[in-house]
């Protein structure tokens, strides 16, 4: 069987059209954001929507809960959908909801979005105080039940403390090296070294704010960066997490950045003049374009084996180790 193709982060405006594009692109598994700032009940409503899609389109998608679902997807010509949170908002201040959410199928949870949370500090805060007391306990509980700690939007000290405190490997599902492009969300050498030395995974993002050159970033630049990162930290710790927001209206950016916590727009990595979703680079517009990335990695000098790992094999291995109880 061929190596799997996995995208470990999308927040598209999902539809049957996009599910069909996943199949056309041969995408075996996608980690889907099921909550940003939602409460527990609001998150459950999102799960209900996905259940209706699973019922209506069983020939295209099904809910994934463990690594074996990726193999099942390959064998049946479908895409396994794995759920994650980009913020701990659905658990509020109730640590017992970590296990409940895992039972509902959630397999990733970021300890923060861009702001300070009850668990840790987000990357847009002026001061990073690291993991909170609740944060340390929630990390232990996530480790116990098999929910992956995701530090994609977290600040540096918080990320380093999570890597150190976690007894299981941590993920940064969608970011790039800060040395390649100095976005607040991209990660320092110190973080990437700590992450990979502890067996964690980095998913490379194609979201234009995370790319050197933005929308105009070339495939050669992106894949050259991946090849350089593989040389620094080892290709076995690398994957793809595109952060694809296909078909989302610009109003969704406001929800992502602001939620309900502010009366004004927090533009973050955008500007007042360009607050919406930037156009994707021409070489990656939707799920049918993963072949361009694969070809670019091979052209950048990566071997077939390393390329297979980055395109999905490494995430598959990580799922196998991370999704079950400790």
Q: Give φ, ψ of 149 to 5 degrees.
A: -75, 120
**Out of 63-77, 109-123, 220-234, 258-272, which region has the weakest mean confidence (pLDDT)?**
258-272
Structure tokens at 81: 């959908």
How many CA atoms are closer than 13 Å to the CA of 309, on its beta-carbon side? 17
pLDDT band per the 50, 70, 90 thresholds, residue 326: confident
Reply yes or no on whether the pLDDT at 251 is more than 90: no
224-243: average pLDDT: 98
Q: What is the pLDDT of residues 9-48, one digit of tens each?
A: 999 999 999 999 999 999 999 999 999 999 999 999 999 9
| Residue 276 contacts residue 250 (beta carbons within 8 Å) | yes
Q: What is the pLDDT of residues 155-192, one digit of tens each?
A: 999 999 999 999 999 999 999 999 999 999 999 999 99
- What is the pLDDT, as a whole number, of residue 321? 97
291-304: average pLDDT: 98
| Residue 50 contacts residue 56 (beta carbons within 8 Å) | no
- What is the pLDDT, as a whole number, of residue 275? 63
| Residue 223 contacts residue 293 (beta carbons within 8 Å) | yes
Q: Rounded mean pLDDT of the chain?
A: 95
Spatial separation of the C-alpha atoms in residues 12 and 53, rounded to whole Å = 14
36-63: average pLDDT: 98
3-state secondary structure of 144: helix
Residues 262, 265, 271: CA angle, nearest 5 degrees? 150
- The top-level CATH class assigned to 6-112+168-322 is alpha beta
Looking up tokens 């930290």 gives: 233
Q: Give φ, ψ of 27 to 5 degrees.
A: -80, 120
pTM attached to this predicted model: 0.96
- What is the pLDDT, as a whole number, of residue 271? 43
Length of the chain: 326
């Amino acid at each position: 069987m061929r190596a799997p193709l996995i995208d470990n982060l999308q927040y598209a405006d999902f539809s049957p059209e996009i599910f069909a594009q996943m199949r056309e692109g041969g995408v075996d598994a996608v980690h889907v954001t099921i909550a940003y700032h939602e409460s527990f009940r609001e998150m459950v409503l999102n799960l209900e929507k996905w259940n209706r899609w699973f019922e209506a389109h069983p020939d295209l998608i099904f809910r994934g809960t463990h690594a074996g679902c990726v193999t099942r997807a390959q064998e049946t010509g479908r895409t396994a959908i794995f759920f994650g949170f980009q913020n701990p908002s659905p658990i509020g201040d109730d640590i017992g909801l970590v296990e409940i959410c895992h039972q509902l199928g959630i397999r990733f949870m970021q300890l923060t979005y861009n702001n300070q949370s009850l668990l840790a500090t987000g990357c847009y805060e002026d001061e990073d105080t690291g993991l909170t007391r609740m944060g340390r306990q929630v990390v232990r509980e996530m480790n116990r039940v098999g929910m992956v700690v995701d530090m994609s939007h977290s600040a540096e000290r918080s990320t380093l403390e999570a890597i150190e405190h976690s007894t299981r490997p941590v993920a940064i599902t969608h970011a790039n090296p800060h040395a390649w492009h100095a976005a607040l969300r991209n990660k320092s050498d110190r973080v990437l070294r700590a992450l990979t030395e502890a067996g964690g995974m980095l998913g490379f993002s194609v979201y234009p704010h995370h790319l050197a050159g933005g929308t105009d970033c070339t495939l050669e630049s992106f894949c050259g960066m991946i090849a350089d990162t593989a040389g620094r930290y080892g290709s076995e710790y690398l994957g793809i997490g595109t952060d694809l927001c296909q078909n989302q209206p610009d109003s969704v950016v406001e929800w992502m950045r602001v939620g309900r916590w502010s009366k004004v727009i927090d533009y973050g990595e955008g500007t007042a003049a360009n607050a919406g979703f930037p156009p994707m680079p021409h070489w990656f517009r939707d799920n049918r374009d993963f072949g361009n990335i694969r070809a670019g990695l091979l052209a950048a000098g990566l071997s077939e084996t390393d390329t297979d790992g980055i395109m999905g094999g490494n995430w598959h291995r990580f799922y196998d180790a991370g999704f079950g109880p400790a």
